[in-house]
A = this chain, B = another copy of it.
């Protein structure tokens, strides 16, 4: 079993899901012949045919609404957005329809769809190709928001997302698409959609992150380790519904927490994590809850993007700051 990349794991999960359930169909822009701009759907057309892998006309709002309609008919559509920056025209469908169809009809019509999009910066792409606004989706009732950070989790979480009877927004950290390889058995095992993953145990400090920033956060944890600080690293993975228990349990142990995300600070999802700590975890906190996040400005054009994205240095500085508190 060869080691595979995150984007190959997405491809593997898609193929698996399509093989095991013929209600699963894939559509979006350039997903068929071209296999997707990141090749996430490569080979699916050849294997499953044009009835199950469809290139739509160019409109994200359209194919999100199309997904709602075909899902209500019992299909399990997986729609690909080429970049998260192009999901905004679909937000009306996500918030006003996908998240509501089951509730609105008291379960008569349901909406088992998955909307996949690569997100985040760091690949020197043009404007609108590097955004992270997962917190917008995390505010939408009735949906799930899932962000993998490794090939294995991408495979397991995507399978679970496709099998889930409700709508899932599945955000793939494109900077990690080909960053590293991992052995991923194609065993069809899903990963849970309601749990954080503790990637590394530690007792001194909790680092909470997800998706694109997991790599930098793990690097920071390793650097801290060399300084004698044992950092626990939590990959939230499923932002909504949020598994607060795992985070609270960790901070109950460490008393210190740094939250790391690439999205802009204000009203980013890190705020939600901090808010939970400020409520249910307050008396466990020995130090302020710090957020290391993108600045509250527009993601710059590629020449400056490194200045926008939090790096290991900023995580380390925040962590070291918290270690000053006894």
Contact = CB atoms under 8 A, between A and B. Distances in A.
A136 B269 CA distance: 11
B139 A268 contact: yes
Contact of A99 (B136, B275, B298): B298
Given A92-B88, A136-B139, A139-B136, A278 B285 contact: yes
A267 B138 contact: yes
A272 interface: yes
Contact of A103 (B240, B272, B297): B297
Nearest to A270: B275
Interface in A115-140: 127-128, 133, 135-136, 138-139
Interface stretch (A36-44, A72-80, A181-189, A286-294): A286-294
Interface in A244-274: 263-264, 266-272, 274
A153 interface: no
B95 A139 contact: no
A174 interface: no
A266 B272 contact: yes
Contact-residue size bin, chain A (C-beta under 8 Å from the other chain): 35 or more
Contact of A287 (B269, B282, B285, B290): B282
Most buried by B among A278, A285, A288: A278
A267 B274 contact: no
Given A135-B139, A136-B139, A297-B141, A291 B279 contact: yes
A275 B282 contact: no
A240 B269 contact: no
A201 interface: no
B279 A275 contact: no
A142 interface: yes
A279 B271 CA distance: 10
A104 interface: yes
A257 B241 CA distance: 25
A277 interface: yes
A258 to B, nearest CB: 10
Given A275-B271, A282-B285, A288-B280, A263 B142 contact: no
Contacts of A285: 278, 282
A242 interface: yes
A303 to B, nearest CB: 13
A20 B323 CA distance: 56
A100 B88 CA distance: 15
